[in-house]
Structure 1
């Protein structure tokens, strides 16, 4: 087991390899925590943006802390979790702030609090403890399970309102005064004072684009500078939180602004956003970067926007695999969820990837959409086999999980056995010609229960974490806390009906999972 000295040496090695680390002495010290390990956190554009924004505040500094790769090593060595920049124990910070991306990271938040010597439940902390704050992508869908654990939730885009929080922290004389003040401010939710969750905040366009502050080789996107040429989306996919009705839809950043913010030293650039290929000037931006000899990656490639120029430029920049999404198993299902991707679009992408020498095409796919039938799966097998004759094909299959604040809010989870049977059917149908890379149906069900859950779901997550984090622990915790999915409506036979109660899964358990892991 690692010693405290070995844990410190590992952090110092990472710091030596970073470019852009910020350090500053200031009276308000924010421990900016990420409830997943370093290599995940440093690929988060939102996390890096808030790190920079806090440093820009005149009287505040941000110091990073992460869910350790091996929490047990910290616990057994009796080493309190501390920040990377100065070694400040997280429990000694003025504010402990979390960026939470998705539901199951809630257990990582608990782990970080526990390793920092802080009570996990909000009601057990006193004025002697730091203010505990949470924000991040989860606030766009369902932040309610966070309520038992945090004092304040920063809703939505926080580039501006993080400064409001810091100013209020300095000016208010007590915690009660601070919470009462924030509870009446747009963009803040104080669960102890308000049950109603407020609307998400929207940053002014002048603060765009979000971009990397620190570049490191120790991350999922190795040594890549990330920047967003657009924010939001103009499309109406019914399953997606970041659709055209969210914060005014898509907002584009002029290519000149994007280019002036990319350091000359950045030889790998990631263009990040919900709908990057919908940017009307993407080809010109991409061409400039590639002609400058940079390797470029793009998130959220849309099949109906890919053309010979874009695919050719990606190949020229060094990309070997191309990933886009079909989402529904059939064209009928894609139309039903307003995805708009046609077979002809996907065939065109397959032909372009072959033309430009890509090694593989990967398509994201949801399994278990409401109304999905065997006919839809048969269409998928037929069409996937057709594509595989053009280019090696892999499907990244995820069970459908309904999210709050979408038109499909409240749609039921199909069921673990049913999802597993469908995945097995697809594997048999493809007969090895197409690779199926499937995420766990069991952990998708856990995600669903949290995504559709309330404060009680958050308490169940705490019970599951304390119980070791296995699937059996989650199942038991949901049962003991009587957690039920959000009683919203669902579409059935063209009419809106209340969902029936789901059966508890009766499947084999698996090994205990590391806290903060999602599967």
Structure 2
């Protein structure tokens, strides 16, 4: 995208934003999201930290996103500049990056390269911006970032962002930058609980941070029609989860499980003029007053969206409220293709719950039922896929049905950590088996088995795998480039990472 086109695009988007509060301050932080604007402005975590930095005395925050065109054309990435001032990324003393999941590491590398900021941490010095990372990825395995960023806030960062930035600001103002001042900065950051400094900690990650419940809920200060969640005000109804699903990072054992936000607190935080409201959390439908919350918002004339609906929580009153809130498709999770596998995942979704979901969708005149599930699960067989075909066919006779499918990728900090990737061909064959079996009856859509394998290698990997992303991106960022980059790594000397096993599963 040319400079003139980018500036015109930014002007249009800024003009359409509601809630933005421009600010000038002695220290300005570039807040980087390694995906395009539409995705970044739909991230509640990104918006929460943007607001937190702007609320800090002496600090301002400017946003920068992956080039829109770069998502489709890997050879494209204009020089990154912020939305607020069009200032180039490399001119900021501090770059804070929010990484949602493993494949976004490539976006970070591409943006650093385009800004002529060395992507290798060890190749940067005091002349370069300090790269600070955080985001959802840190709850699982941030080690692939360790060779790229200078420091990582692990877990919930609302209470940590201020002391971390205070250290960075104080070091920057104590005389001319030098190698000794950068080393002192890293040493001071390493002493802050929940802050991971690769140069000091090696591979020893700290405990995941948990903020005081008084700081909940997070909410989005900016609404925009150009986000994936167009013009939607985002707010947490809870944080964490009370369930024990074996594949999920945000299960009961993470940060004390579910922490609820009261209905009154939720409703009083939502602006009266918000016509679209997104209720966000790992288990929104488990909130004990979720039906009342949705109805209260519908009474205001607001359209309501929920980030997670559990099939065992669906009942007539709840689905009626969702219909009032503008739902046209009832979306929930099947999780595994068979009842046996769902039980192994410790999911409460059973045949009776999913049948009831289909019946409720029909009764409330929803256009369709959409179910998310994984394939390539441990111990999965063709018989499980055939059960899914039979059961999905049964559901489709009740209400039009769509399946959204993702290959299973084992994540760190879960009971299924270390389980192997099923194999690209295995996953592709099972997806094709599903498509053939459901052709003409169910809409089947899936994410790529090849890119799921890349995600898996990074999810189970460490610094070496993250540095391999740099090589893959610079070779063109195609799947073949990742495959070569991972294959060129030396064999691991410890049980983790399990990269050699992942390579064998290609």
TM class by smaller structure: over 0.9
Aligned to 1:86: 85
Question: What do the CA deviations read for 1:379-408 (whole angstroms, capped 9, x no partner)?
Answer: 111111110000011111111100011110
- Residue 483 (structure 2) pairs with residue 475 (structure 1): yes
Q: 5+ residue gaps in structure 2?
A: 175-180
> Are 1:501 and 2:501 counterparts?
yes
2:188 to 157, 160, 181: 181
The answer to whether residue 419 in structure 2 is matched with residue 424 in structure 1 is no
The structure-2 alpha-carbon separation of the partners of 1:17 and 1:499, relative to structure 1 and needing over 3 Å to count, comes to closer
The question of whether the paired residues in 1 share the 8 Å contact of 2:295 and 2:324 is answered with no
Structure 2 residue corresponding to 1:448, chosen from 456, 467, 470: 456
Q: How far does residue 316 in structure 1 lie from its aligned partner after superposition?
A: 1.6
- Distance (Å, rounded) in 2 between the aligned partners of 1:130 and 1:154: 17
Are 2:190 and 1:191 aligned? Answer: no
Which among 350, 353, 359 is matched to residue 345 of structure 1? 353
CA, structure 1 residues 414+486, in 2 after alignment: closer, same or farther (shift >3 Å)? farther
Q: How many angstroms does 1:91 deviate by?
A: 1.0
Deviation at 1:499, TM superposition (A): 11
Q: CA deviation at 1:94?
A: 2.0
Distance 1:33 1:499 in 2: 29
2:53 pairs with 1:54: yes
66 and 26 in structure 1: CA distance in 2 versus 1, 3 angstrom threshold = same
Change (3 A) 1:351 1:65: same
Whole-Å separation in 1 of the counterparts to 2:494 and 2:435: 33
Q: CA RMSD in A?
A: 2.1
> Is the 8 Å Cα contact of residues 211 and 226 (structure 1) preserved in structure 2?
yes
* TM-aligned CA deviation for residue 436 of structure 1: 1.1
After TM superposition, give the deviation of residue 501 of structure 1 in Å: 3.1
In 2: Cα distance, 1:499 partner to 1:158 partner: 30
Of 282, 286, 296, the residue aligned with 1:278 is 286
- Counterpart of 2:177 in structure 1 is none
Structure 1 partner of 2:466: 458
Q: Deviations over 1:257-304 (max 9, x none)?
A: 111111111100010100000011111111111111110011110000
Report the Cα distance in structure 2 between the residues aligned to 1:388 and 1:484, rounded to whole angstroms.
47
1:184 CA drift (Å): 1.6
The answer to whether the Cα contact below 8 Å between 2:374 and 2:408 also exists between their aligned partners in 1 is yes
**Partners of 2:125 and 2:182 within 8 A in 1:** no
Scaled by the length of structure 1, what TM-score is found? 0.92
CA distance in 2: counterparts of 1:198 and 1:144, whole angstroms:
11
Aligned to 1:370: 378
Once the two structures are superposed, residues 80-105 of structure 1 have per-residue CA deviations (whole angstroms, 9 ceiling, x without a partner) of 32111122221111210100000010
Residue 378 (structure 2) pairs with residue 379 (structure 1): no
1:501 match: secondary structure: helix
Residues 472 and 417 of structure 1, relative CA distance in 2, 3 Å threshold: same
Q: CA deviation at 1:71?
A: 4.4
Q: CA deviation at 1:177?
A: 1.6
Deviations 1:212-235 (A, max 9, x none): 111000011111111011000000
Give the TM-score of the pair, scaled to structure 2. Answer: 0.94
Superimposed CA distance per residue, residues 130-164 of structure 1 (whole angstroms, 9 cap, x where no aligned partner)? 11111000000110010111111011100110011
Q: From the superposition, tell whether residues 355 and 446 of structure 1 become closer, same or farther in structure 2 (CA, over 3 Å).
A: same
The residue that corresponds to 1:267 in the other structure is: 275
Query: 1:43-442 alignment to 2 at 5 Å?
Result: 43-71=42-70, 80-172=79-171, 173=174, 174-195=181-202, 196-442=204-450
**Shift in alpha-carbon separation, 1:79–1:375, aligned structure 2, 3 A:** closer
In 2, Cα distance between equivalents of 1:98 and 1:322: 34
Shift of the 62–484 alpha-carbon distance from structure 1 to 2, 3 Å rule, reads: same
Given that 2:217 and 2:237 are in contact with CA atoms closer than 8 Å, whether structure 1 keeps it comes out as yes
Aligned to 2:11: 12
Q: Partners of 2:489 and 2:338 in 1: how far apart?
A: 38
Deviations 1:464-507 (A, max 9, x none): 10010111111111111246698369xxxxxxxx998355466x
Q: 1:72 to 1:319 in 2, by over 3 A?
A: closer
SS of 1:395 mapped into structure 2? strand
The count of residues paired between Structure 1 and Structure 2 equals: 497
Decide whether aligned partners of structure 1 residues 432 and 92 sit closer, same or farther in structure 2, where only a CA change above 3 A counts.
Answer: same
Counterpart-to-counterpart distance in 1, 2:503 and 2:297: 52
Change (3 A) 1:327 1:479: same
